[in-house]
Amino acid sequence: MRILRPTYPGAPGAAVALALAAILVAGCGGGGGATTGRIRERAFTVYTSLPREGLSARRADAVAAGERLALADSGGRVGGHRVRLVELDSSAAGADTWDPGAVEANARRAADDPSASAYIGELDFGASAISVPTLTVRDPEVPGEGPERYYPRGRRTFLRLVPADYLLGEAMVAWARENGARSVAILHDDRLFGRELAEEAGAAAAHAHLRVTVSAEARHGQVDYSDVARELAASPADAVLYTGLGGPSADRSLAAVHRAVPRARLYGSSGLAAGGANAGTPILTVDDALPADLYGRPARALLERLRTARGAPTSADALYGYEAMRVVLDALRAAGEDSGDRAAVVDAAMRGRDRQSVVGPFSLTRTGDVTPVRFAGYRDTGGGRSFLGLRGPGGPLHGGT
């Protein structure tokens, strides 16, 4: 759901997005995904693409609950127009992560819908590499394979509510350096997110003058990761940065590495957090998701409303679904009489301004990025998760939201 220095299929090293909490809002359009043109229907449609199977399903459920609540709080209308939410599944039955075919189908459905006003997604890691090109039109006058191909007339049509992935890599490296590391090993899985974040972390380490001793791949689904552990042990480092997704494979690979290099501190990212608590290997995790009590009184009240309505606690991920829908509704409202003009809605959404929200105060830059940049630092073990403070790309931060 958030775009990382975007590259797309066909480009060298193609891959894009990291999930939990980053929300992409793109202007959509009928007839091949045009970001211009008018919506002539009396109702606007907002599409959301979320995985209902696999590692991110629980978070997706919370995000969807937040989206629905924000729409309900608006009365389901903006101005004189009704707004409806269409929820689409970005996973396949039995899968543990997003399905490329499902993501493409979701984006194509939104792009071909003449009533579509916005698209909220992707939650899953790497999926925006497929949906963004589907939702936008390539400008034939812009050559090359870079992200500019997908910005019609130079207009960026998406934004995110959490920091870009390269900042996540910088935060992991900064924490390792703060704890005394002078060298790092990078361990990633064989998925898009893991490989791309590994490159970002490697670049951040070089910039911070930390030596990268080895970059190894732990392929998903292996029973035994002793070969990976031996590779890292042969090129010892002060810290190991794990950039892949969570889940049983990550648990096994990290446990093997911890046994092989017990003196090296382990660091993980929000991708690891998507798989839930690990099997007992101690690891320091940089995550987009803050503890619920740091989001402030309005956020706690919203989560309590959801708990009452749903009969069970809902994670703080719901706050990002709520705010993503609010961004869409506010853009439609700000466009006023031009709310049926997708270009006007995009311009309203991308207009940099300060926002007071349930996820805390933030500003949107003209590139669709969020500022300030903040992550949560956690210590994860098999016994649970401990919050260690707020962190930024350069090190620790002070205060909450």
The three-state (H, E, C) secondary structure of 328-385, written as one string: HHHHHHHHHHHCCEHHHHHHHHHCCCEECCCCCCEEECCCCCEECCCEEEEEEECCEE
| CA nearest neighbour of 379 among 280, 274, 253, 255 | 280
Report pLDDT for 162. Answer: 81
Beta sheet of 239-242, edge-to-edge order: 211-217, 183-188, 239-242, 265-268, 283-287, 375-381, 384-392, 395-396
HSE (side-chain half, CA atoms, 13 Å) at 191: 26
**Amino acid letter, 182:** R
Q: Which two tokens stand for residue 36?
A: 């211009």
- Quote the CA–CA distance of 53 and 88 in Å, as a whole number: 12
- Quote the CA–CA distance of 372 and 163 in Å, as a whole number: 8
Out of 3.20.20.60, 3.40.50.2300, 3.40.50.970, 3.40.47.10, select the CATH number for domain 2-163+296-368: 3.40.50.2300
Fold of the domain built from segment(s) 165-287+374-396: Rossmann fold (3.40.50)
Q: Which two tokens stand for residue 170?
A: 């910088």
- Quote the CA–CA distance of 332 and 117 in Å, as a whole number: 8
Report pLDDT for 191. Answer: 86
Beta sheet of 354-355, edge-to-edge order: 354-355, 362-364, 370-371
- Quote the CA–CA distance of 338 and 81 in Å, as a whole number: 12
Do 228 and 256 form a contact (C-beta atoms < 8 A)?
yes
Report pLDDT for 275. Answer: 65
- Could you state, in order of their start, the residue ranges of all structural domains in the chain? 2-163+296-368, 165-287+374-396
CA 193 to chain centre: 10
CA 179 to chain centre: 27
Query: Same fold for the domain at 2-163+296-368 and the one at 165-287+374-396?
Result: yes
- How big, in percent rounded to 5, are the helix, strand and coil portions of the chain? 40, 20, 40
Report pLDDT for 78. Answer: 92
Q: Which residues pair with 185 in a beta bridge?
A: 214, 240
- Terminal-residue alpha carbon distance, the chain: 22
Q: Could you check whether the bond before residue 122 is cis, i.e. omega within 30 degrees of 0?
A: yes
Report pLDDT for 5. Answer: 31
Report pLDDT for 399. Answer: 53
- H or E segment at 250? helix 248-260
Report pLDDT for 279. Answer: 59
In sequence order, what E strands does 163-304 have? 183-188, 211-217, 239-242, 265-268, 283-287
- Quote the CA–CA distance of 33 and 136 in Å, as a whole number: 5
| Mean pLDDT for back-to-back runs of 10 residues, the chain (401 residues) | 31 25 39 52 89 88 96 94 95 86 92 89 76 67 50 67 88 97 97 91 97 96 95 97 92 95 95 68 91 91 96 93 93 90 83 84 82 92 87 82 44
- Quote the CA–CA distance of 21 and 270 in Å, as a whole number: 10
Report pLDDT for 352. Answer: 64
Q: Find the length of the chain.
A: 401
Report pLDDT for 9. Answer: 30
Q: Residue 235 burial by CB count (10 A; 0-12/13-18/19+): exposed, middle or buried? A: middle
- Quote the CA–CA distance of 194 and 200 in Å, as a whole number: 10
